[in-house]
Chain A
Amino acid sequence: MKFSDFVAVDAIRSDIESDTKQGVIREIAEALVEAGKIAPGELEGIVKAIMKREDLGSTGIGRGVAVPHTKHPSVDRLVGTVAISRKGIEFESLDGEPVQLFFLLVSPPDRPGDHLRALENISRQLRDEGFCKRLKASQTPAEIEHLLEEADHHGFVS
């Protein structure tokens, strides 16, 4: 799976303002609403579901990256986006590092394979430290989009 298969480019954000876990998740989910990827009426339910999933264990996967996610019946295909927090958010990650890079995913309840392959793509690409750093240093959504495209086409496989 590629980034372009699930990342809604209109919902990419390069400067998240919130400084709490819930605030960040809401801000990113709102971006997906604005991009027309999730229905406005589903926003609250989705934010709540993602927070409930976080309560089961942080989705911080290390290296300043988190993958907050949920399944939700209101989407018929995997939707997601990328957002950056300049200051970094305390996310109770295993390595203790604050999170700067967020990949938020909402998937249909019956597609666990797609979700798994999106996680695989994200983690495989971010294993490359150079890519991870460049992504975090991006200043605009367009810059992030270009980096994702580059990764899709050439790979940053180390």
Chain B
Amino acid sequence: MNCCLESMSQPTISREVVVGIRQGLHARPADLLAREARKWQSRIELVGKAQRADGKSILELLTLAAETGTRLVVEVTGPDAQEAIEAIGGLFDRNFNEQINGNDAPGETRR
């Protein structure tokens, strides 16, 4: 009971993000996102048009099949929500870092 009241009293904060990666939210950015999300205590969800995904699960994030240009809402609930949403939003703002922005295919990239 206590836990429920507690979580109910935690406000949810949200912000919109846009998938800027040309390849969409594929395995590697999903991995980076889940790793970042797991650093925080708060519950982190990504909400697409048809469904929501647990931000801490790569498997769930991949079910969003978010192509480039897709708008998603990040919803964060918990004690460190503010820091968490900034960190998660930052990943999208930075396109999950440039090295993956262009390509997920070492077979055709030259490094």
Contacts and interface: CB of A to CB of B under 8 A. Distances in A.
A61 B105 contact: no
Looking at chain B, what size class is its interface with the partner chain? 20 to 34
B105 A56 contact: no
Interface stretch (A12-20, A78-86, A123-131): A123-131
A116 B31 contact: no
Nearest to B64: A120
B28 interface: yes
Interface in A30-48: 45-46, 48
B106 A53 contact: yes
Interface residues of A, number: 35
A120 B97 CA distance: 23
Contacts of B65: 116-117, 119-120
Interface in B12-52: 22-28, 30-32, 34-35, 38
A126 B62 CA distance: 11
A25 B4 CA distance: 46
A70 B62 contact: no
A122 B32 CA distance: 19
A57 B28 contact: yes
Contacts, number: 96
A116 B23 contact: yes
B100 interface: yes
Contacts of A73: 107-108
Nearest to A70: B107
B101 interface: no
B63 interface: yes
A81 to B, nearest CB: 17
Nearest to A62: B59
Interface of B: 22-28, 30-32, 34-35, 38, 57-60, 62-68, 99-100, 103-108
Interface of A: 45-46, 48-49, 52-53, 55-59, 61-63, 65, 67, 69-73, 94, 109, 112-113, 115-117, 119-120, 122-124, 126-127
